[in-house]
Structure 1
Amino acid sequence: MLAWAPTIVWLNGTHGAGKTTTSALVQQLIQDSRVFDAEKVGETLMDITPRLPWTGNFQDWPPWPPLVVEAARRVLDCTGGTPVMPMAVLVEEYRREIGAGLAERAIPVRHFVLHADQDTLRGRIKGDTVLGPSPFRLKHLEPYAEAARTWLHGEAEVVDTTHLTPAQAALQIAEAVKS
């Protein structure tokens, strides 16, 4: 186990990049850490009845970014340690709002983007034996590519998972956070 000061380890990237699998492996390498899947915040908003007006993505609802920040803060207050947070955020405004909210609360973040080329991502999504092929996940490939080209890769540490196993990616991330 590696040890360091508590920091949110944010694993960003699109569907098929390996966020969920890698986050569980990173958690095993970081002492006193836990996986905090912030996507569940959005799922909670989806359960409101009557339903909020559908926008196509729960991240577009105004309460989502500040609730992610507040949930992360509360988890840290309750548990301490290092949250490993798999969460795809491909809209620059939302990434900035979440980052600013965490910074205002003096919560340090190491932001990683798990990247793979489009063919690899498409193949992973189509071959997913757990979730199955998903048109929703496939339609996020181009927005990811655009975000990667224009801002996302400039704001994070990029880990190319095209030819890495999830264990190799997790070790690379854990070692980067330690250094």
Structure 2
Amino acid sequence: MLVWINGPFGGGKTQTAFELRRRLHGSVVCDPEFVGYGLHRSMPAELRGDFQDLPAWRQGVVEVLDLVLNQHKGVVIAPMTVVHPDYFAETVGRLREIGHDVRHFALLAEHDTVRERLRGRGLPGMRFGLRFETFALERIDHCLEALQRPEFGEHIHTDHLGVAAVADRIAASANLTLTPNTDSALRTRLRQARVTLSHIRL
């Protein structure tokens, strides 16, 4: 099974993905963003636009996830924002067409909730920390509006849900059994901070 976690930038996709991996034995996280990073690194800076616009990214994501799904025995988790209907069809849709069990979830929240989550990702002394946060802030409303479309279901509204609760909702819908979440609040904050730091792009 592939669990694809969609949502706006700052919507909690990556934290939820790693919470699922932590509590779901044998699961792995395969982040489609890294396919895009690789394409960007092979191009001069002035040519780097949105890597999702590159057919190579969409095809590469399908090929990588197809390989992992065929070779790995556990659940595969992919946290990735995709709001363009055609690109969604070429990735999630294509994986379904070639026979994979893909469970798609869109994490939604109010604009202000997403904005505050993005603000919390910044580094001390910086308004939003990274150039990426400005990119993400400018696209909050577009992402939230696009993801309301029925093809982007199942929708999970996360304004009043913590990461563990969102993971529980996904697991219940996908008929997956997670180990109990017994971490203290401090341990949870430290673990989530490590996940955030490991995904910072300068």
Q: TM-score range by the shorter chain?
A: 0.7 to 0.9
CA contact (8 A) 1:38 1:86 kept: yes
Instruction: Say whether 1:127 aligns with 2:120.
Output: yes
AA in 1 matched with 2:141: E
Instruction: Give the deviation of 1:68 after TM superposition.
Output: 0.5
1:112-168 deviation line (CA, Å, top 9, x unaligned): 00111101001111121468362111012022123034x2x5431111111111011
Instruction: Give the deviation of 1:108 after TM superposition.
Output: 1.1
Counterpart position of 1:63: 56
Counterpart position of 1:22: 16
CA contact (8 A) 2:7 2:144 kept: no
Instruction: Say whether 1:177 aligns with 2:174.
Output: yes
AA in 1 matched with 2:161: L
CA distance, structure 2, for counterparts of residue 49 and residue 172 of structure 1: 40
Q: Cα RMSD between the aligned structures?
A: 2.0
Q: What is the TM-score with the length of structure 1 in the denominator?
A: 0.86
Instruction: Say whether 1:99 aligns with 2:96.
Output: no
Counterpart position of 2:184: none
1:77-99 deviation line (CA, Å, top 9, x unaligned): 33231111101001111001112
SS at match of 1:164: coil
AA in 2 matched with 1:103: R
> What does residue range 1-20 of structure 1 map to in structure 2 within 5 Å?
7-20=1-14
Identity over aligned residues, as a percent? 35
Change (3 A) 1:51 1:63: farther
Aligned match of 2:161 in 155, 159, 164?
164
Counterpart position of 1:115: 108
CA contact (8 A) 2:105 2:153 kept: yes
Count of residues in Structure 1 that have an aligned counterpart in Structure 2:
170
CA distance, structure 1, for counterparts of residue 17 and residue 8 of structure 2: 14
CA contact (8 A) 2:106 2:147 kept: no
AA in 2 matched with 1:101: R
CA distance, structure 1, for counterparts of residue 164 and residue 122 of structure 2: 19
Instruction: Give the deviation of 1:29 after TM superposition.
Output: 3.0
Instruction: Give the deviation of 1:47 after TM superposition.
Output: 1.0
AA in 1 matched with 2:114: L
Instruction: Say whether 1:145 aligns with 2:144.
Output: yes
Change (3 A) 1:51 1:123: closer
Q: What is the TM-score with the length of structure 2 in the denominator?
A: 0.77
AA in 2 matched with 1:28: R
Change (3 A) 1:163 1:93: same
CA distance, structure 2, for counterparts of residue 119 and residue 96 of structure 1: 29
